Amino acid sequence: MAQFWKPGTEKPRLLDDGEGGVLFFSSSYSSSSGFGFSSTEKQRQRLPVYKYRTAILYLVETHATTIIVGETGSGKTTQIPQFLKEAGWADGGRVIACTQPRRLAVQAVASRVAEEMGVKLGEEVGYTIRFEDLTNPDVTRVKFLTDGVLLREMMDDPLLTKYSVIMVDEAHERSISTDMLLGLLKKIQRRRPDLRLIISSATIEAKSMSTFFQMSKRRRALEGETFEPKVEPAILSVEGRGFNVQIFYLEEPVSDYVQSAVSTVLSIHEQEPPGDILVFLTGQDDIDAAVQLIVEEGQNDRKRSELIILPLYSGLSRAEQDLIFSPTPRGKRKVVISTNIAETSLTLEGIVYVIDSGFSKQRFYNPITDIESLIVAPISKASARQRTGRAGRIRPGKCYRLYTEEYFINEMPAEGIPEMQRSNLVTCVIQEPMISKMILASGELGCSEEIMTIAAILSIQSIWASSRGAQKELDEARLRFAAAEGDHVTFLNVYKGFLQSNKSSQWCHKNFINYQAMKKVMEVREQLRRIAQRLGIILKSCERDTTAIRKAVTAGFFANACQLEAYSHNGMYKTVRGSQEVYIHPSSVLFRVNPKWVIYHSLVSTDRQYMRNVVTIDPGWLTEIAPHFYQQRQLSHMPH
């Protein structure tokens, strides 16, 4: 398929003037592969942020909030936490936190920083994402985590007392968790003058961010603090020289951006000098399709065998991640096909060509139908410029935009809409009412002891130990406790075993249970018991009447009911309420079991929407327990 390209016409302008065109990106330093062998320290010194080390440390010392803006790849994420550590911010058992919106980015930067510091990941440097905690509370001093995980930590420790500095990274993404985190951190700052915040990003309206974090002087004076960091946030911009990226547009719009991206990859490979290619598509489906197409089309071609095709999306294994970051062998050309994670969260060395589909997956909430979904939507001009910039890292590059210049100029929105304005906020704000309803109902159903255990476990990130490469053993351990009714009942089995072992840590270790998490469960459960007693809820055990237990769960979480699609071969469920597509998460005991009707505790969205912590139900309970919510006609396709 022939595609015709047209060079962009915008005049070259300097970065960050808000308009762009040909862009200049920081790349005054060389990459690790550029100069043969060099010590880690030398590599670190070549990064643009290195020149700002003293300035950054001074600003953090003297200001409650420091805003740092710097191009992707300038070293913000990997270097600043190390500067802070070296300057003593982690002394006395304190911890430096750095948040990321994406789990894969958390893992990648944490392992890079551990490597640079010459320590084992999970010790001095660690990370926590949902389902995986690679930290050791006694020794971890630099901790990378998703902003969602930090929000959760706040529920247990509202002032986040163990942290000395919290760096909220990638703030320009304006993910819903980042925005909520920023709002809450602002409140924490009032109570904790010793806490320092760093807000860092590739591009940001630094001024509006600064206005937001401006603190009232009067209020601080009222609280009678002795040492006052400056209330006015500091703003630092990390600069560097850059390489020119030439932009090409399609002459005519295309209908199939996957096919168009594949054709562009192949023609770059035929016609252009060496240099890796980065393709921006939207998610696992179109990325896998593109990989497949390139492989098929190049099967018998010697030149095509020089291509190393690598998909990049959330959920990749460590080995797959390593391939993406490792240098391209001589005579080969890497083609990384990515979601917008490579837009600013991860820096890939060696990229010279960028292909931009003009789309990404975004969460949209329709308040009329009450459906929240991830849909493929056009990106903004700001994102398009970031994507272009990824081509100018090691030398002048080229960016192929799979849309027309007219479209870019006239139709592409200037900025994205913050996720907070396109999401259903209910789930962020209201965790407490659903659990409460479940506990209240358990009093009536005579299973309050069991439900209290379940509620305590659900409040903990995960009771399973991190598998640390022993996924098979972990899965086997899980099977020992597995209940056909689902995760909630499985939790009861674990809890019972834990009590029978006399709360033994060896027992936990043997069964891949996280001992610390179980101790926390006991604590939370005790709190819940006290609250329940105060509310006059009768504490009673149902002796494993799982119907009562599952009915109580239904009473709280009826809005999360899902039905397996009748002809689904891949375990697709639809939410009863909104007909949203969801799947059972691999960590669930019901993964691959796929019972007809389930209720989930929470959703995690990666490439798909996954239901985490799932229990089977009888659909009849929905109309029985929540008639106000489920009218009979809505469930007309139910078996009766």
Task: Please identify, using beta-carbon distances, which residue of 144 and 213 lies nearer to Mg ion.
Answer: 144
Q: If contact means CB under 5 to 8 A according to the sort of partner, which of Mg ion, ligand CDP, none does residue 347 touch?
A: ligand CDP
Question: Least distance from C-beta 327 to ligand CDP, angstroms?
Answer: 10
Task: Please identify, using beta-carbon distances, which residue of 341 and 384 lies nearer to Mg ion.
Answer: 341
Q: Decide: residue 378, CB within 10 A, 0-12 exposed, 13-18 middle, 19+ buried.
A: middle
Task: Please identify, using beta-carbon distances, which residue of 72 and 263 lies nearer to ligand CDP.
Answer: 72
**Tokens at 21, concatenated:** 């065109």
Question: Least distance from C-beta 588 to ligand CDP, angstroms?
Answer: 30
Segment 22 to 81, residues that bind Mg ion, using CB under 5 A: 77
Question: Least distance from C-beta 12 to ligand CDP, angstroms?
Answer: 23
Q: If contact means CB under 5 to 8 A according to the sort of partner, which of Mg ion, ligand CDP, none does residue 68 touch?
A: none
Taking the C-alpha atoms of residue 405 and residue 412, their distance in angstroms, rounded to an integer, is 10
Number of residue whose CB is nearest Mg ion: 77
Taking the C-alpha atoms of residue 82 and residue 49, their distance in angstroms, rounded to an integer, is 12
Q: If contact means CB under 5 to 8 A according to the sort of partner, which of Mg ion, ligand CDP, none does residue 352 touch?
A: none
Q: If contact means CB under 5 to 8 A according to the sort of partner, which of Mg ion, ligand CDP, none does residue 325 touch?
A: ligand CDP
Q: Decide: residue 639, CB within 10 A, 0-12 exposed, 13-18 middle, 19+ buried.
A: exposed
Contact 345, 102 (CB under 8 A): yes
Taking the C-alpha atoms of residue 247 and residue 352, their distance in angstroms, rounded to an integer, is 12
Q: Which amino acid is at 60?
A: V
Task: Please identify, using beta-carbon distances, which residue of 77 and 616 lies nearer to Mg ion.
Answer: 77
Task: Please identify, using beta-carbon distances, which residue of 272 and 322 lies nearer to ligand CDP.
Answer: 322
Q: Is residue 99 at the binding interface for Mg ion, with CB under 5 A as the rule?
A: no
DSSP labels for 259-327? HHHHHHHHHHHHHS-S-EEEEE--SHHHHHHHHHHHHHHTTT-TGGGGEEEEEE-TT--HHHHHHHHSP
Q: If contact means CB under 5 to 8 A according to the sort of partner, which of Mg ion, ligand CDP, none does residue 65 touch?
A: none
Taking the C-alpha atoms of residue 549 and residue 451, their distance in angstroms, rounded to an integer, is 7
Task: Please identify, using beta-carbon distances, which residue of 189 and 200 lies nearer to ligand CDP.
Answer: 200
> How far out from the chain centre does Cα 276 lie?
26
| Cα dihedral 332, 337, 343, 344 sign | negative
Task: Please identify, using beta-carbon distances, which residue of 83 and 257 lies nearer to ligand CDP.
Answer: 83
Task: Please identify, using beta-carbon distances, which residue of 77 and 383 lies nearer to Mg ion.
Answer: 77
Q: If contact means CB under 5 to 8 A according to the sort of partner, which of ligand CDP, Mg ion, none does residue 82 touch?
A: none
Residues lying near ligand CDP in the complex (CB under 6 A) are found at: 31, 47, 70, 72-79, 108-109, 112, 325, 347, 349
Residues 6+ apart with CB under 8 A from 530: none
Task: Please identify, using beta-carbon distances, which residue of 77 and 546 lies nearer to Mg ion.
Answer: 77
Contact 276, 350 (CB under 8 A): yes
Question: Least distance from C-beta 450 to Mg ion, angstroms?
Answer: 45
Q: If contact means CB under 5 to 8 A according to the sort of partner, which of ligand CDP, Mg ion, none does residue 385 touch?
A: none
Contact 584, 610 (CB under 8 A): yes
Question: Least distance from C-beta 160 to ligand CDP, angstroms?
Answer: 22
φ, ψ (nearest 5 deg) of residue 97: -110, 145
Neighbours of 590 (CB within 10 A): 24
**Tokens at 266, concatenated:** 């192949």
Question: Least distance from C-beta 75 to Mg ion, angstroms?
Answer: 8
Contact 68, 236 (CB under 8 A): yes
Number of chain residues interacting with Mg ion (CB under 5 A): 1
Question: Least distance from C-beta 349 to ligand CDP, angstroms?
Answer: 5
Q: If contact means CB under 5 to 8 A according to the sort of partner, which of ligand CDP, Mg ion, none does residue 450 touch?
A: none
Question: Least distance from C-beta 359 to Mg ion, angstroms?
Answer: 23
Q: Is residue 442 at the binding interface for Mg ion, with CB under 5 A as the rule?
A: no
Task: Please identify, using beta-carbon distances, which residue of 27 and 77 lies nearer to Mg ion.
Answer: 77
Question: Least distance from C-beta 79 to ligand CDP, angstroms?
Answer: 6
Question: Least distance from C-beta 169 to Mg ion, angstroms?
Answer: 6
Q: Decide: residue 184, CB within 10 A, 0-12 exposed, 13-18 middle, 19+ buried.
A: middle
Query: Which residues contact Mg ion by CB under 5 A?
Result: 77
